[in-house]
C-alpha cells in the first residue's frame, strides 16, 4: 500500500508551485511574522497591565460589597465547573439526564445569590456589575427569549389569522427597531408610564428589553427549522394517531430546534455581546467598568490594554458557548441517537 506525499511535499506543492506563488508565500509569511513579533513584543514588553491586574475584582464583581463577593464568585465557579462537566461528557446516565435541569436552575440560582433571599443579605441591583452582571443579563434574557421566540414561531405558522398576524407584526416591528432604541425605551421611558409608587428594577428592565428584542430573531430561526421539516413527518405523526399538541411536542419541535441550533447559538453569542450597550445607559457591566477605569487619572491613555483585555474575556466566554452548542449538536445528531439505541 503506497503512502501519500509527505507533508513537506504537499506544502511545497501548494505554496511554491510557481515563482509567483513562491513570492506571494514568502511575502505573506514575512508579514505574518512581523505582525506576530510586534504583537508579542507589545503584549509582554510595552503594555502596562496594571490597569487590569489592580482591578480584577472590579472587573469580576463590580461594586458588589467585598464581604459578600463570595456569592457572585460561587455562581461563576458553578458555571465554569458545569461547563467543564458538560464538555467532558459524564459517563453516568443519571448525571447526563440531570445536566439540562441543572443548567436551567443556574438562572434562578444566580438571581438568588446576587439579589439575596433565602437567608442571604439583600444586595441592591445598582451594586451589581462587571462580568457577573454581563453573564446574568445574558442568562436571564436568553431564558426568557427562547420560549417566547418558540411561541412566536409557532404562532406565525398557525391557521388562526389573528394570532398569525399579531406574531408577524411583532416580529417585523422588533426586527425593524434598533436594539439601542428598545433599551432606551425600557430604561428611560417605561418609568414615565408607571405610577409614582411603582418602580421596576433597572436590571429587570434591561432583561425584559433584551428578551423581547432577541425573541423576534429567535422566532425567525425556529421558523426556519420548522420549515425544514418534511411534510411527511407530520403526515406520519397523524397516521400514528398523535394529536396536534403531541405532534408539535414530540415530532416537530425537537427536529426544528435541532436544525436551528447553529442559528440559536449565533443569537446567544450576539446577546452576550449586546449587553455591552448597557454601559451607555448606566449599568456597569464589563464595558461600563472599563469606561469608569479609563476616566481614572492613574489609567488615562491605557485604552489599548483595556480593550485587548475585554476582547480576550469576550472571546473566552463566546468560545465556551460555542463549544457547549457544538457538544449539544453532537449529542442530538440522528446518527449518534441511532448508535446509542443499538
| Segments making up each domain of the chain, as ranges | 68-123, 125-330
Q: Looking at residue 219, what is its pLDDT?
A: 92
Calpha distance 65→5 (Å, rounded): 63
Calpha distance 214→192 (Å, rounded): 24
Q: Which of 7-11, 116-120, 155-159 has the highest mean pLDDT?
A: 155-159
Q: Looking at residue 336, what is its pLDDT?
A: 56
pTM of the model: 0.83
Q: Looking at residue 214, what is its pLDDT?
A: 92
pLDDT band at 52 (very low <50, low <70, confident <90, very high): confident
Distant-in-sequence contacts of 52-61, Cβ < 8 A, 24+ apart: 52/305, 52/306, 52/309, 55/289, 55/293, 58/129, 58/130, 58/289, 58/293, 59/130, 59/131, 59/286, 59/289, 59/309, 59/313, 60/130, 60/131, 60/132, 61/129, 61/130, 61/131, 61/132
Q: Write the burial class of residue 20 (CB in 10 Å: 0-12 exposed, 13-18 middle, 19+ buried).
A: exposed
Average pLDDT, integer, range 20-49 = 83
Is the pLDDT at 1 greater than 50? The verdict is no
Q: Looking at residue 338, what is its pLDDT?
A: 46
Lowest mean pLDDT across 133-142, 197-206, 215-224 = 197-206
Q: In the 8-state DSSP scheme, what is residue 97? A: H
Q: Write the burial class of residue 245 (CB in 10 Å: 0-12 exposed, 13-18 middle, 19+ buried).
A: exposed
More confident residue, 278 or 151: 151
pLDDT band at 9 (very low <50, low <70, confident <90, very high): low
125-330: what fold? MetI-like fold (1.10.3720)
Summary mean pLDDT of the chain = 83
Task: Name which of 266, 268, 144 is nearest 205 in CA terms.
Answer: 144
Average pLDDT, integer, range 16-27 = 73
* Alpha helices (runs of H) in the chain, residue ranges in sequence order: 7-15, 19-41, 50-53, 56-61, 70-88, 93-115, 130-156, 161-176, 179-184, 190-193, 202-227, 231-239, 244-247, 253-274, 286-294, 303-331, 334-341
pLDDT band at 194 (very low <50, low <70, confident <90, very high): low
pLDDT in tens, 255-311: 888 888 889 999 999 999 888 888 777 778 888 888 888 888 888 778 888 888 898
Is the pLDDT at 190 greater than 80? The verdict is no
Check: CB of residue 215 under 8 Å from CB of residue 145: yes
pLDDT in tens, 217-259: 999 999 888 888 888 877 787 788 878 788 888 888 888 888 8
Three-state SS at 220 = helix
pLDDT band at 199 (very low <50, low <70, confident <90, very high): low
How far, rounded to the nearest angstrom, does the alpha carbon of residue 193 sit from its chain's CA centroid?
A: 31
Distances (CA, A) of 39 to 53, 85, 217, 308: 20, 34, 37, 11
Q: In the 8-state DSSP scheme, what is residue 248? A: I
C-alpha cell at 73: 464568585
Task: Name which of 333, 154, 308 is nearest 244 in CA terms.
Answer: 154
pLDDT in tens, 179-188: 888 888 877 7
Check: CB of residue 276 under 8 Å from CB of residue 212: no
DSSP assignment of 158-214: SS-HHHHHHHHHHHHHHHHS-HHHHHHIIIIIHHHHS-TT----HHHHHHHHHHHHH
CB neighbourhood size of 237 (10 A)? 18
Calpha distance 145→139 (Å, rounded): 10
Amino acid at each position: 500500500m503506497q503512502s501519500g506525499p509527505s507533508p513537506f511535499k504537499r506544502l511545497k506543492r501548494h505554496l511554491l508551485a510557481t515563482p509567483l506563488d513562491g513570492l506571494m508565500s514568502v511575502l505573506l509569511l514575512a508579514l505574518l511574522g512581523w505582525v506576530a513579533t510586534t504583537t508579542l513584543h507589545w503584549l509582554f514588553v510595552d503594555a502596562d497591565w496594571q490597569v487590569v491586574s489592580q482591578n480584577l475584582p472590579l472587573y469580576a464583581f463590580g461594586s458588589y460589597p467585598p464581604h459578600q463577593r463570595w456569592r457572585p464568585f460561587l455562581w461563576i465557579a458553578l458555571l465554569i465547573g458545569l461547563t467543564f462537566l458538560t464538555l467532558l461528557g459524564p459517563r453516568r446516565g443519571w448525571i447526563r439526564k440531570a445536566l439540562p435541569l441543572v443548567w436551567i436552575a443556574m438562572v434562578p440560582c444566580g438571581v438568588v445569590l446576587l439579589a439575596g433571599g433565602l437567608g442571604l443579605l439583600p444586595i441592591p441591583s445598582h451594586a451589581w456589575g462587571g462580568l457577573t452582571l454581563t453573564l446574568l443579563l445574558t442568562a436571564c434574557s436568553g431564558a426568557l427569549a427562547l420560549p417566547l421566540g418558540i411561541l412566536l414561531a409557532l404562532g406565525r405558522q398557525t391557521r388562526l389569522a389573528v394570532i398569525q398576524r399579531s406574531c408577524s407584526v411583532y416580529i417585523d416591528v422588533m426586527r425593524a427597531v434598533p436594539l439601542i432604541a428598545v433599551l432606551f425605551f425600557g430604561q428611560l421611558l417605561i418609568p414615565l408610564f408607571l405610577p409614582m409608587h411603582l418602580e421596576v428594577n433597572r436590571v429587570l428592565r434591561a432583561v425584559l428589553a433584551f428578551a423581547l428584542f432577541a425573541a423576534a430573531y429567535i422566532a425567525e430561526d425556529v421558523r426556519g427549522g420548522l420549515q425544514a421539516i418534511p411534510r411527511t413527518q407530520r403526515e406520519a405523526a397523524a397516521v400514528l394517531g398523535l394529536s396536534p399538541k403531541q405532534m408539535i411536542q414530540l415530532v416537530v419541535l425537537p427536529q426544528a430546534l435541532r436544525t436551528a441550533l447553529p442559528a440559536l447559538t449565533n443569537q446567544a453569542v450576539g446577546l452576550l455581546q449586546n449587553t455591552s450597550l448597557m454601559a451607555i445607559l448606566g449599568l456597569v457591566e464589563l464595558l461600563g467598568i472599563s469606561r469608569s477605569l479609563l476616566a481614572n487619572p492613574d489609567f488615562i491613555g491605557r485604552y489599548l490594554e483595556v480593550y485587548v483585555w475585554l476582547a480576550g474575556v469576550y472571546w473566552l466566554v463566546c468560545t465556551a458557548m460555542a463549544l457547549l452548542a457544538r457538544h449539544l449538536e453532537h449529542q442530538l445528531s440522528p446518527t449518534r441517537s441511532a448508535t446509542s439505541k443499538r
